[in-house]
Amino acid sequence: MKVYIKTNGVTLVGKAWQIKYVLKKYMKQFQTVEEWITSQSKPK
């Protein structure tokens, strides 16, 4: 399972059940994909 987060979107690579699992996990944390991308692109 790979998750590529870019400035203009998210690419999920894996089996269908893996992608569904990851999407459900992130749906609990973020309301939109934009929030997801923004949270990952902030410098740490």
Please state the domain extents for the chain: 2-41
**Does residue 7 or residue 44 have the better pLDDT?**
7
pLDDT at 44: 54
* pTM of this structure: 0.70
3-class secondary structure per residue, 5-44: EECCEEEEECCHHHHHHHHHHHHHHCCCHHHHHHHHHCCC
Q: List pLDDT tens digits, range 5-32.
A: 888 888 999 999 999 999 999 999 999 9
**Does residue 38 or residue 42 have the better pLDDT?**
38
